[in-house]
Amino acid sequence: MAKLYNLARMTTATTGTGTITLGSAVSGYLSFAAAGVQNGDTVTCAMKDGSNSEIGEGVYTASGTTLTRSVIKSTNSDTAISLSGSAEVFVTPSHRHFMDSGTLMLFQQTSAPTGWTKQTTHNDKALRVVSGTASSGGSSAFSTVFGKTATDAFTLTTNEIPSHQHFGFDRTPVTFSLGGVGSFASGANGYNTVSNTGATGSGGSHTHGMDIRVQYVDLIIAQKD
């Protein structure tokens, strides 16, 4: 965007519709150089010559104190006006420095600035950059997702547990009969029957710890009045 400088207003003896050679500062104002305009700067400037006027952008050349002309708007059907040799040239904003009504922007402040209206349609949402059509979506609020310190509780069902068994041996002494001859005991380490281990666990839900409380900066959306 073309630059702006304060109080820059000068005379010109240039005639015609070509590049302007600047003269001296108008009384009560500053020359372009004194106002801070640098060699090669593109500035937004206007000129008034009698009942004719023009606004546009021009490149300033310090060595010859010249200013090119690229017209934005004029009283001559939006083309360069023909200067008479007694015009004034000054730096001023154009419509390009201002946003159209309805423009939406983000601001890092609670209230909308002067000339803007705060929009409240979207609240507690994250921003997503897209290359296509702008829209909105999702189902979980920003503060909900990024306020978590653990996963949601979950209870495993039988179908979600791998198939498995637990077993052990009942270490009860066994007495063996030898027919009419007699009998003997297997001793303390004899094995009798196979049985399952005792049950353990409650079947309740569980969570896994995590912390995604990401740092953030609040912004508002405001619309240009």
Q: Is the pTM of this model over 0.85?
A: no
213 within domain boundaries: no
Give dist(CA 49, CA 51) in Å, integer: 6
Last residue within a domain, chosen from 97, 114, 142: 97
The mean predicted confidence, pLDDT, of the chain is 85
Q: Note the pLDDT of residue 78.
A: 95
Q: Is 150 exposed, middle or buried (0-12, 13-18, 19+ CB in 10 A)?
A: exposed
> Is residue 93 located within the same domain as residue 13?
yes
Last residue within a domain, chosen from 74, 97, 120: 97
| Structure-token match 């498995």, residue found | 164
Q: Note the pLDDT of residue 214.
A: 81
Sheet of 116-119, strand order: 104-107, 220-224, 116-119
Which secondary structure element, helix H or strand E, spans residue 143, and what is its range? helix 142-145
Q: Note the pLDDT of residue 137.
A: 86
Give dist(CA 208, CA 151) in Å, integer: 5
Question: Where in the sequence is the domain holding 71, given as residue range(s)?
Answer: 9-97
131 within domain boundaries: no
Please identify every stretch of the chain with a pLDDT value under 50, giving residue numbers as ranges.
none
> Is residue 92 located within the same domain as residue 14?
yes
218 within domain boundaries: no
The length of the chain is 225
- Number of structural domains the chain divides into: 2
115 within domain boundaries: no
Q: Note the pLDDT of residue 189.
A: 52
